[in-house]
Amino acid sequence: MLNKDIEKKLNDQLNCEFYSSYLYMSMAIHFDHYNFKGFSNWMKQQAQEELTHADKIYSYLNAQGAKIELLEIGKPKNHWESALEVFKDALNHEKHVTKNIHELTNMAIDTKDHPTNIFLQEFVTEQVEEESSLEEIIQKLKLIKDNINGLYCMDRALGARTH
Ligand code: MG
């Protein structure tokens, strides 16, 4: 049995992962609109990955006998001025997710909930990777600025992402 506060916050995190997937799909649509297939591919892969995060939380809540409740998923932003702005938004969103995961981990530690603490470790590590890969792309986009050759080169590189 999970502590009620942890159960609720994990349920909220389930919703947050679905929202993340929705946001990345909106970003994929944006890039497809401008025919940047590689950027779009990267965002679609990211959207899929968020669904696997949601599924992991779902399975954990289920294994703990929690009552899972699907909440409303908000409409994501759908217009950006540049690729750089898209990735800056993605990074800000991931920082918000990291904060949630850390708060959840603190709650698990404070209540000596060892299973939830262990379950969350993978998410803690994952967030470091998420932020780091976005930072790397942002740094490159800052160097490229509006250089179209640079953008297409980056598009080709991001098109290679397969998972
Ligand atoms: Mg996630």
Domains of the chain with CATH codes? 4-159 (1.20.1260.10)
Mean pLDDT confidence for 137-157:
96
Give the environment of ion ligand 1: residues with CB less than 5 A. Answer: 50, 53
Residue 146's pLDDT is what? Answer: 86
Residue 6 has pLDDT above 90, yes or no: yes
pLDDT-above-70 percentage for the chain:
100
Record the pTM: 0.96
Residue 1's pLDDT is what? Answer: 86
Residue 121 has pLDDT above 90, yes or no: yes
Distance 148 CA to ligand 1 centre (A): 31
Distance 139 CA to ligand 1 centre (A): 22
DSSP assigned state of 81 = S
Distance 128 CA to ligand 1 centre (A): 11
Mean pLDDT confidence for 76-92:
98
Distance 57 CA to ligand 1 centre (A): 10
